[in-house]
């Protein structure tokens, strides 16, 4: 996929992510998961519904997620599958400026998440997730690092 998108377009996507995007990881309580929490990473791009046609073209160039329309008229393009997030990050990482730390942290979280074998590993992963608090503003954050 990397070769299908020109460097110029990859740089444009990186700028779009820097300006109208978000990288975040949620730690959500979920009793069906092994340690009682779900780790849910996302990359989301935002645009006003007024510019839907151009945004759809941008999203079709990426083709790694799905679009949804929020009730407030904002379009979201959501990349939620780990393998698709990695593909997207590979495209934009050399060009990202404002969100370099978030990109690096998300990559690390995905690697660590795939190696969790016990509660201690999971707690270390939860601390990495909590590090997004320092990088991103979240007024609604409810769950923080797990206590042993």
Other Cβ atoms closer than 10 A to 41:
20
Integer Cα distance of 67 and 46 in angstroms: 10
State whether the Cα torsion 66-41-118-111 is positive or negative: positive
Cα–Cα nearest to 23, from 132, 144, 145: 132
Residues serving a catalytic function are 19-20
Given a contact cutoff of 8 angstroms between Cβ atoms, the answer to whether 125 and 113 are in contact is: yes
State whether the Cα torsion 102-103-104-108 is positive or negative: positive
Cα–Cα nearest to 95, from 23, 21, 22, 10: 10
Two tokens at 63? 């083709």
């Amino acid at each position: 996929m990397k070769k299908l998108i020109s460097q110029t377009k990859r740089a444009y996507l990186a700028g779009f992510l820097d300006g109208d995007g978000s990288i975040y990881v949620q730690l959500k309580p979920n009793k069906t998961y092994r340690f009682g929490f779900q780790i849910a990473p996302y990359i989301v791009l935002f645009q006003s519904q007024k510019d839907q046609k151009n945004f759809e073209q941008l999203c079709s160039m990426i083709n790694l997620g799905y679009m949804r329309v929020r009730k407030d008229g904002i379009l979201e393009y959501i990349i939620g599958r780990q393998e698709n997030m990695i593909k997207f990050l590979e495209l934009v990482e050399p060009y990202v400026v404002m969100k370099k730390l978030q990109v690096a942290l998300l990559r690390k979280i995905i690697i660590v998440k795939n190696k969790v074998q016990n509660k201690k590993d999971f707690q270390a992963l939860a601390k990495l997730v909590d590090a997004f608090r320092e990088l991103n503003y979240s007024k609604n954050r409810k769950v923080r690092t797990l206590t042993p």
